[in-house]
Amino acid sequence: MPEFEPITGRYITIDIAGEWHRIFIEEAGRGLPLFCLHTAGNDSRQFRHLMNDGAITGRFRVIAFDMPYHGRSTPPDRWWLKKFRLTTESYIAIIRAVWLALGLERPTLLGCSMGGAIVLELAARYQDELAGIVGLESSAYAPGRYNDFLHHPAIHGGELCASYTYGLNSPYSPEVNRRENWWYYAQSGPGVYQGDVYFYSVDWDAREDVKKIDTARCKVALLTGEYDYSCTPAMTEAVAAAIPGSRYRLMKGMGHFPMIENYPGFRPYLLDALDHIAPQPM
């Protein structure tokens, strides 16, 4: 038999805010649901190392999906007649629709970058339906990433978006992994990264909403890389300070994409964060 990885990918077609979407979902493992959200302009392949880690998949059912327009998920009908713009509300509607369609009970949400941002709002709104959140590179307010060149007819969008995000990796992460993430970015459809950054840097401001998170009901673990210049450690420290009982750890020598740029370096922090949310019996 060939040596298959333990990841299974499938498609579902679901109604999201009145539109039908064909969504790609991949998963591995059994146990508590760990629902993973990829970064802007990328897709669920970023979680491939996590889904191949027996220490995680022995305890958690790890699930990740490609956002509409991203990866292997198709845009909705008549996508050519509207500009793709993710907003806080549309992002929540997408995640909530997939979450309910899969019937995930008290999942732990794990998101990175824009995913690390939106898990804060999801925790504020749905804290009684969650075990907790793991926010990677989480900020409550992150202006400064949006620009017109990210989707411009005189510029190769794939190469710009991939190069624009490459330095968000730590210079100490293995080059092969940083380059893999570059490739995923380069594969993004025209304007998709920009549409995501519209959410991240224009629409997003959860500085008040994060104060509603009650860590007695929904646990919060925050991890940010030292070399992240989009969501700097100081930005996550501000989130942690606004959520009493949250747990924040700085990841030394890490950048903005811990799960894909340097999984071995990220792993101890991740296991510690998951133990915080779902303590293992002694």
Q: Which residues bind another protein (CB under 8 A)?
A: 144-145, 149, 152, 154-156, 159-160, 162-164, 166-168, 170-171, 226-230, 232
Smallest gap from residue 154 Cβ to another protein (A):
6
Q: Tokens 């899969």, residue?
A: 102
Cα separation values, 222 from 5, 20, 236, 247, Å: 29, 33, 7, 6
Query: 164: closest CA among 189, 191, 182, 184?
Result: 182
Cα separation values, 195 from 58, 70, 171, Å: 36, 11, 27
> Helix, strand, or coil here: 175?
helix
Q: Any idea what the Cα angle at residue 73 is, between residues 69 and 79, rounded to 5°?
A: 40
